[in-house]
Amino acid sequence: MTATIRVAAAPISWGVCEVPGWGRVLDAATVLGEMAALGVQATELGPPGYLPRDPAALRELLGQYGLTLVGGFLAVVLHENQDNALKEAEESAALFAACGGDVLVLAAATGLDGYDDRPKLTDAEWATLVDTAGKIRGIAAAHGLRTVLHPHVGTHVEQRAEVERFLADSDLGLCLDTGHLMIGGTDPVELAQRYPERVGHVHLKDVREDLAAEVRAGRLGYTDAVGRGIYTPLGEGDVDVAAMVRSVQAAGYDGWYVLEQDTALGAESPDDLPRRDTERSLAHLAKIIDSH
């Protein structure tokens, strides 16, 4: 394995999320400062409004911490109101590109708050979803960005059958999010081995399979599962992170590995919990790199 692995972080690992009532949100100076102190050199943008939306202000803020921008996550309704989705994509793509980002991470939002409920789509709505994703790719490409579709719990591309259907109906690359795929019933290692050419971006997570099984079975809501610690530091859960990294590296992947451990901070959660968990993940990833 080559050691030229580019590692980035994301504000969600510090509990910063777009979902109303998700949890206590740490200020940007704390989050960015801790990323920099851990030796991380890049970040995804995080939810709308957390970091500046003005390109000059965002570049200046990130520059204060020696960070560059990977790109960002855009959860938008793709199966209806296409014009609205394209408008949101245009605004996000312009911002990402102006600040040096190179990837737009797209998720097929339901239109509901949070990620606990998913209305079923008709075939016509699914076709619109695929078409809208393709048009967003064109918008992003005009700004010099790549677009990847992120299979994500609580969106319309979550479960294994939906991931396979999207791969068949679209030629868009995927964000290989090891945690969300596993919770949705897809083995991320096996998926990467079958579709190496479709891996366009990587989010590294580790997951407790016992809680993931409860979410898949509908006995536990996703938000509650996050609160109960479904995501663990890398190497402490049930995802074979080492095998996944080896697989995509062997296939020629040279993009970012974004450390993401979706966290919700409660009132009693220590402020330094996200930093400590991210430090453990970085140490585990370093061992994987050093051993190959």
Domains along the chain with CATH numbers:
6-290 (3.20.20.150)
| DSSP letter for each residue of 187-213 | -HHHHHHH-GGGEEEEEE-EE-HHHHH
Q: Residue 116's pLDDT is what?
A: 78
CA–CA dist 240, 260 (Å, integer): 15
> Residue 205 corresponds to which amino acid?
K
Question: What's this model's pTM, rounded to 2 decimal places?
Answer: 0.94
Question: CA 259 to CA 205: how far, in whole Å?
Answer: 7
User: How far apart are the C-alpha atoms of 218 and 231, rounded to whole Å?
Assistant: 18
pLDDT less than 70: residues of the chain: 1-3, 292
Query: Would you state the pLDDT for residue 89?
Result: 97
- Burial of residue 43 (CB within 10 Å: 0-12, 13-18, 19+) is buried
Cα 211 from chain centre: 19
Residue 21 pLDDT: 87
- Give residue 292's pLDDT: 62
Looking at residue 3, its pLDDT comes to 46
